Amino acid sequence: MGIKRKSKAAAALGMAGLLVLAACGSNNDNQENGNASPSAGSSPSASASQPPADPAAKYDPPIDVTAWRYTESSYKYENGDTIENNVYTKAYASDLGINLKYQWTVPVEQFEQKLNVSIAAGDLPDIMWLTNKQLTDLADNDLLYDLTDLYEQYATPLTKSILQQDQKAFDTAKIDGRLMAIPKTASAVDGLPVLHVRTDWLEKLGLPEPKTMQDVLNIAEAFVTKDPDGNNKADTIGLGLTKSFLTDNHFGTSGFFSGFHAYPQKWVKDESGGLVYGSIQPGVKAGLQMLQDMYKKGLLDKEFGVKDRAKVTESVASGKLGMFYGGMSAPGSVIQDNVTNDPNAEWKSFQIVSADEVKATPIGKVPVQLYYAVSKKSKHPEAIMKLLNFSMEGFAPDAPANSPFGISPTGVPVYLYNLIGPEPAMKNLNAHHNIVQALSSNDPSKLSSEEKGYYDRIVKFNGGDRKEWGQARIFGTPSTFDVIDQYVKDDNYILDAFYGGSTPTMVEKLASLQKMEEEVFTKIIMGQSLDTFDKFVADWKKLGGDDITQEVNEWAKKQ
Amino acid sequence: MRKKWQEIPLHVMLLPGVLLTLIFSYIPIAGIAIAFQKFQPAKGIFHSKWVGWDNFQYMLDMPNFASVLWNTVFIAVMKIVAGLVIPIVVALLLNEVAGAWFKRTVQTIIYFPHFLSWVILGGIMIDVLSPANGIVNQFLGLFGIEPIFFLGNENWFPFTLVATDTWKHFGYSTIIYLAALTGIDQHLYEAATVDGAGRWKQTLYVTLPGLLPIITLMTVLSLGNVLNAGFEQVFNLYSPMVYSTGDIIDTLVYRIGMVESQYGVATAVGLFKSVISFGLIVLSNRLASRYAGYRVF
Amino acid sequence: MQKLTAGRKTFLITNYVVLTIAALLCILPLINVLAISFSSKSAAAAGFVKLWPVDFTLSSYKYALSKHEFLDGFVVSLKRVALGYAVNMLLTILTAYPLSKERSSLRSRHYYAWFFIVTMLFNGGLIPTYMTIKEAGLLDSIWSLVLPGAVPVFNVILLMNFFRELPKEIEEAAFMDGAGHWRVLWRIYCPLSLPAIATITLFTLVAHWNSWFDGLIYMNSTSNYPLQSYLQTIIVTSDLNAVASNDLLVTEVSDRTFKAAQVFLAALPVLVVYPFLQKFFMKGLVMGSVKG
């Protein structure tokens, strides 16, 4: 009866605790209801009561600033650091007099949900990480502090130059012309698709590097029929796709369809200047036709329709797959294991290829996925500007190398702890240029600490450590950024033309329309008649697509 | 026989449970109001716009709602049936095993899969069920059966879901029946042996009737799941190839939420599911008490 | 022991074969996960690992155990299971006993019963529940993981039905001797229902150990996450940030060995508990019958 006695005691304890808590609960209830709703409507004029201040002045006495944010699995910590307590939070306190207190931090997967419940429950911290959707929602309900004037007043020239490098991205944070948040700007070109090919296979089979879509087809065919891995089994795949190929960055089809000047799932300008939905354009049909032929010939994995990214990565790592369209990070994230496993494996990245005489143009997205907003009730709405200026100092041309705010000597990406972290539009591409230069001159002294982190790993690779191959093929040369650089030099890329929140008809119909699209495209590739595509186009228009197109164009006119 | 005040200890026993349930279940249930709102987190429950039955209308108007509803019920009912029958059979089979070591080992092992999440199992299933080199198809090949694309064929997909789900949970569910088996009076078996009944007859006339109450109970309770086809499993195993037979209410709601968090619609769908489940449970409780003579609640 | 008939023999052999196959089907995937957890990262990523580790290494376990989130989560989970089990078990027994009575002994029984059953099927959804927890001041507290599910209705119904099956004669005799409800419950019902209580113990422990969603929603920092909530965040990787430059560093994401090790470490405690509880399911123990 030992179990029972113990449970009794513990349970008695529990009951006592619970009654106390229940009592507390009802108290809170009254208080919250007492003051939450009326103040939501009224507007405290904090900025008016503040004297015009020096943008760099330190708060004395220090102030408390609350915030919420997400973290990612790539965040690493050392020396007892946490997201609540690290080199950044310490610097905020010592340099700015700001004690940062996180109301909550959640892993990114949980962010949207936690964000919504917290907003619904009505307690907003001073500084909020928001997505476009909640930004619009909160601004519409007058819960956000208008940052337009504070930005003018406080932002340093350096800050402005970085944030407004890409004006279009910056403007996504404006609602009716007012700046309602600081956008987390980043690089649009980082997201452009690249063609990754196993070059040791190309050499073995005596194939040229891919320059046209026909080359891609020939390579895929040779990779399947000519036994590039030399095991006398027909077990290799020509082109890698996942089951969500329309949206996936790695093993996706964005770069492939660009070869047919088609842009599924993106909005593009037509000849008349209006916006049209890429998935219903004629080029898509040609692309699908080619994929269907490839599937028929066995150049695609027969089972691609059920495989996710981890599963296709498995084909790469086990040396069964030698070509796919992917992002610039692919060497590090999905190819590395192949190179580790197979001492002969070598890959190279190429510009996407065209199916005709016209050059293929890759498409990316406006690179703002996150906004930093300030609650209307915040006592120190200008604090965000000080944090912002502080963060941007690291990007100054004369910023000290090896600062403690980048990547630590042991390779921990400390810079991710930063609360306010917009990036210059070409940060990673610049890092590539700087690193390549440092490599050729053997002089890393001018590198930022983040760049130095990459540099050190590439040096290791050059010394024979194949585990750092991916790093070298992203930032070194030859690398994926060589390709991206070429896109930029040629000014050969476009961006998704629609970057607003969901329109009313999207809210209502988009889920069904997307389901239909994924279903039809997958089935066509697997052999269903191409006429289904024409039917899909008609259905798409009829089932809400026309309305969405109209709404998107109305949105575009306002931009 | 006994007087009113003799009930008092019983009320006292119920009190803590009732209080906690009131606070943590009934107060939030008031939030069902969201089903009738165009709920915006920024406005909260008290200020969001009331829209009457619009969310329900939206649900019924979705182009594929009827087929999704059908998929859900089809998959869920098959899961319920398999989830009832297999564990009972396994419990009975285990009951016939004489060796305590073997019995314990098997019991312990079949309980394992319950602890592997679908995220992990998803990757394993793709390998195991692969038409090219999956072990299941290799086995079927021995009997001259053509490889079957269990995860990619829309006709097979619902059955694949049922089979893998049953596989994952049967060991865990068996425990309830094993516990119930211990409650059967041993004297009944002795009496049956004296009457000359063999093991088969004992199973039929002693064991099964002894399990009947728990079987009834599990059946009635499982009817509450008739619209739950298992989100986590379907989400990790399905693909555009099998949308037509594999898309269920929960995955549909999830995808709608991906476009925009539509709490109103999600709550409306939840309420719809609750009402139907509740009706079925009440009905089956009545039927059980009328025909099996056993009242579950 | 009586002599076995031919039919009985055939049955027994078939039975052993069937159960052995079932057991194999259940254990092989687990062995696969275990083998992956002891294999090198690249071998696992390539799918080379079947039932035996390739390039044996303990690094995944070392890494998993060196992460403070893992150990923090483990401690939070232990606390949660201990508190949750105590509260659940007490309330299950206290609630099941009165409900197992006939209407003649408790006239309002049906109202109580339906009061609880309704909560099994209806809930207000995420936001209202979150707001209730918040207003109760339980956010970021271990009690937010324990109190909302304090009365596990399914278990109550299960136990109530076991209680009903107990022979009424013993109870009547006790009442005759002047015992009250409390004594009857603790001294007669509970000891007689050990198999049922063991079953519910197992269900409760497993449920608390395995639940992850509430932790993610109610806790405000990763250091307060129960183990399963933390595991959920690393096992389910997101493609949301495909464009973000952080993607450069997400080499861990494809690290299947690490995940496998974490899954196995997390499942181990509940896998170990079962054999200990199992003896309560062994036949004949309770009723003190001949087999003993």
Closest-CA distance of chain B to residue C251, Å: 18
The pLDDT, as a whole number, for residue B189 is 86
CA separation for the pair A282, A284 (Å, rounded): 5
Distances A433 to A394, A474, A485 between C-alpha atoms, Å: 18, 11, 9
Residue C99 lies in a domain: yes
Based on the fold, state whether residues C109 and C243 are members of the same structural domain: yes
Q: What is the DSSP string of A189-219?
A: GGG--EEEEEHHHHHHHTPPPP-BHHHHHHH
Q: Phi and psi (nearest 5°) for A304?
A: -55, -30
Identify the residue with better confidence: A76 or A451. Answer: A451
Domains in chain B: boundaries: 1-52, 63-292
Encode pLDDT of A239-293 as tens digits. Answer: 999 999 998 889 999 999 999 999 999 999 998 989 999 999 999 999 999 999 9
Decide if A137 and B151 are in contact by the 8 Å CB cutoff: no
pLDDT band at A401 (very low <50, low <70, confident <90, very high): low
Residue A51 has pLDDT above 80, yes or no: no
pLDDT band at A152 (very low <50, low <70, confident <90, very high): very high
Residue C286 lies in a domain: no
Residue A36 has pLDDT above 70, yes or no: no
Closest-CA distance of chain C to residue A271, Å: 29
Residue C37 has pLDDT above 50, yes or no: yes
SS3 content of chain C, % helix, strand, coil (to 5): 70, 0, 30
Decide if C248 and A474 are in contact by the 8 Å CB cutoff: yes
Based on the fold, state whether residues C146 and C12 are members of the same structural domain: no
Residue C68 lies in a domain: yes
The pLDDT, as a whole number, for residue A58 is 87
As given in the structure block, the two tokens for residue C98 are 């009165």
Residue C31 lies in a domain: yes
Residues of chain C with pLDDT > 90, as a percent, come to: 35
As given in the structure block, the two tokens for residue A552 are 């998107």
DSSP SS3 for A98: strand
Question: Which pTM value belongs to this model?
Answer: 0.84
Q: Nearest CB to C151: which of B20, B27, B183?
A: B20
CA separation for the pair A281, A277 (Å, rounded): 7
Encode pLDDT of A193-210 as tens digits. Answer: 999 999 999 999 999 999
The pLDDT, as a whole number, for residue A427 is 86
pLDDT band at C235 (very low <50, low <70, confident <90, very high): low
Identify the residue with better confidence: A350 or A234. Answer: A350
Residue C234 has pLDDT above 80, yes or no: no
Encode pLDDT of A349-377 as tens digits. Answer: 999 999 999 999 999 988 888 999 999 99
Any C CB within 8 A of A14 CB: yes
User: How many Cα atoms within 13 Å fall on the side-chain side of residue B132?
Assistant: 10
The pLDDT, as a whole number, for residue B64 is 83
The pLDDT, as a whole number, for residue A48 is 41
Encode pLDDT of A430-471 as tens digits. Answer: 999 999 999 999 999 888 878 888 898 899 999 998 988 998
Identify the residue with better confidence: A494 or B262. Answer: A494
Based on the fold, state whether residues C53 and C20 are members of the same structural domain: yes
Decide if B132 and A302 are in contact by the 8 Å CB cutoff: yes
How does the average pLDDT of chain A come out, rounded?
86
Based on the fold, state whether residues C50 and C162 are members of the same structural domain: no
Q: Phi and psi (nearest 5°) for A101?
A: -120, 120
> Strand A127-130 vs strand A371-374: parallel, antiparallel, or unpaired?
antiparallel
Instruction: Point out the residues of chain B with pLDDT beneath 70.
Output: 1-4
Based on the fold, state whether residues C16 and C68 are members of the same structural domain: no
Give the count of domains, chain C: 2
Closest-CA distance of chain A to residue B172, Å: 22
Domains in chain A: boundaries: 46-188+368-417, 193-361+502-550, 429-485
Q: Scanning every residue of chain A, which has its alpha carbon at the shortest distance from the alpha carbon of B237? A: A306
Query: Which residues, including other chains, have CB under 8 Å from residue C86's CB and lie 6 or more apart?
Result: A6, A7, A10, A11, A13, A14
Closest-CA distance of chain B to residue C282, Å: 7
The pLDDT, as a whole number, for residue A82 is 86
Based on the fold, state whether residues C30 and C67 are members of the same structural domain: no
Query: Which residues, including other chains, have CB under 8 Å from residue B100's CB and lie 6 or more apart?
Result: C282
Q: Scanning every residue of chain B, which has its alpha carbon at the shortest distance from the alpha carbon of C237? A: B119
The pLDDT, as a whole number, for residue C281 is 64
Q: Scanning every residue of chain A, which has its alpha carbon at the shortest distance from the alpha carbon of C137? A: A25
Task: For residue C45, give its domain range.
Answer: 6-57
ipTM: 0.86
- Mutation for B interface: A144, A306, A502, most B CBs within 10 A: A306
Q: Scanning every residue of chain C, which has its alpha carbon at the shortest distance from the alpha carbon of A117? A: C127
Distances A118 to A35, A114, B134, B265 between C-alpha atoms, Å: 17, 6, 46, 19
CATH code of the domain occupying A46-188+368-417 = 3.40.190.10
Contacts of C26 in chain B (CB under 8 A): 109-113, 167, 171
Based on the fold, state whether residues C118 and C230 are members of the same structural domain: yes
Range scoring the smallest mean pLDDT among B196-205, C102-111, C121-130, C279-288? C279-288
CATH 1.10.3720.10 is held by the domain B63-292: yes
The pLDDT, as a whole number, for residue A405 is 85
The pLDDT, as a whole number, for residue B92 is 92
Residues forming a β-bridge with A326: A194
SS3 content of chain A, % helix, strand, coil (to 5): 50, 10, 35
Decide if C254 and A22 are in contact by the 8 Å CB cutoff: no
CATH of A193-361+502-550, one of 3.80.10.10, 3.40.50.2300, 1.10.10.60, 3.40.190.10: 3.40.190.10
Based on the fold, state whether residues C49 and C120 are members of the same structural domain: no
Distance of CA A226 to the CA centre of its chain: 38
Any B CB within 8 A of A543 CB: yes
CATH number at residue C146: 1.10.3720.10
**For residue A174, what is the enclosing H or E element?**
strand A174-175
Any C CB within 8 A of A4 CB: yes
Residue C33 has pLDDT above 50, yes or no: yes
The pLDDT, as a whole number, for residue A44 is 39
